[in-house]
Amino acid sequence: DGGSGHRAVLYLRPLAGRDTAEFFSDSRYGEFWVGARPTLEDVETETGIRTAHLDDLRDALAKDAGADGVQVLVVPDVDEAVEDVVEEIRATEAAGERDEKLAEALSELRLLKDAYEVEQMRLAVDTTIEGFEKIVRALPAAQQHRRGERVIEGTFVGHARQEGNAVGYETIAAAGEHATTLHWIDNDGPVRAGDLVLVDAGVEVDSLYTADVTRTLPVDGTFTEVQRRVYQAVLDAADAAFAVAKPGTKFRDVHDAAMRVIAARLEEWGLLPVSAEDSLQPENQHHRRWMVHGTSHHLGLDVHDCAQARAELYLDAELQPGMVFTIEPGLYFKSDDLLVPEEYRGIGVRIEDDVLVTADGNENLSAALPRDPDAVEAWMQGLLGR
């Protein structure tokens, strides 16, 4: 209990012996159906936390609920069965609000990563980079398949399952116009030479920490002039965000730095109805038509880690060493968007890296995956043997 007077107990359903009906007949938990589970003693040895049978949870919670000054709280939307038990024994409606506070507190505990967590993030990112290399090698096969996006997705998912636990979220493999749909996960379209393919993917390693990386790649290994123009604008926005991502800067300032570049470039191209400076005013935001999402989110056990944290500790907070988050500006021009010249239509570009705040700045954990357009072309052509 660490001297706090609190005692942690982990309730779980242990292995059922071969002399039980559960072993043979229970398709959800029976070992014959789903494989072996550890014993209570195994888990206690591995975690150092006292364990108890899940069947004892209700009585233990009921006892706590009846004790003076004890609040029974549950993290919402994690385990419906546990929530049902808690609701059954709690007497007050106000308890639900306290549950939200518990979820908030757990999010805030994860805002700063310790050395182990950073190590796991590095592993997740490095494994993800290996997956992107496999994607590039698979591009010729993707071009030959009617569902080339599925070839890309399958390549990465297979890699994630072989080298980690799974993917950390549904892979986006968006070729051509599909790249202008932010969460394109159908991945059922063709992959054509001359197009870009936006791949947003992350490996979740066995510790359940996940990477979240995006690269926008020319399918045939070479950017066209207009593709490179859009790509460079997004890269410059990302670099501007990196420049301010250091201790003492507020989290929301990272997004603002990227947006200043996006607005300036759109003004330069003649796409804004006002100046970039005017567009950046809160009441205008014309540039957000083509960059609608946030530039950053925390990353860790969840792809959108710490999402329940209070704004003053997240968006409005100053960056601190140990924070890990994404930097991921983009530009997305729909194929039917008549407010942009035809040459831009159907082009979607996002560049996303995973960033660790250090004592004197930041470290791009995914820097080994090329970002500069010349470096991307050279990297791809090397992997394709050209």
- Say what percent of the chain tops pLDDT 90: 81
57-65 vs 80-89: helix axis angle to the nearest 10? 40
Contact 106, 74 (CB under 8 A): no
CA distance 162 to 235: 31
Cβ neighbours for 289, distance < 8 A, ≥ 6 positions apart = 339
Local structure of 362: helix, strand or coil: strand
CA distance 352 to 348: 13
User: Residue 16 gets which letter from DSSP?
Assistant: P
Instruction: Convert the pLDDT of each residue in 334-383 to its tens digit.
Output: 999 999 999 999 999 999 999 999 999 999 999 999 999 999 999 999 99
CA distance 145 to 21: 48
Residue 92 has pLDDT above 70, yes or no: no
Local structure of 358: helix, strand or coil: strand
Beta strands 9-12; 50-53: pairing state: parallel
CA distance 304 to 300: 8
pLDDT of residue 86: 86
Instruction: Convert the pLDDT of each residue in 125-184 to its tens digit.
Output: 999 999 999 999 999 999 999 999 999 999 999 999 999 999 999 999 999 999 999 999
Cβ neighbours for 341, distance < 8 A, ≥ 6 positions apart = none
Residue 23 CB neighbours (<10 A) = 16
> Residue 90 — pLDDT band, cuts 50, 70, 90?
confident
Local structure of 215: helix, strand or coil: strand
Strand partners, 200: 172, 214
Instruction: Convert the pLDDT of each residue in 39-77 to its tens digit.
Output: 999 999 999 999 999 999 988 888 876 666 677 888 888
Q: Which tokens is 173 given?
A: 């493999």
| Exposure class string for 60-81: b at 16+ Cβ within 10 A, else e | ebeeebeeeeeebbbbeeeeee
Give the Å distances, CA to CA, from 151 to 143, 154, 246: 9, 5, 38
Domains of the chain in sequence order: 9-109 (no CATH), 115-383 (3.90.230.10)
The radius of gyration of the chain from alpha carbons, rounded to an integer in Å, stands at 24
CA distance 218 to 224: 8
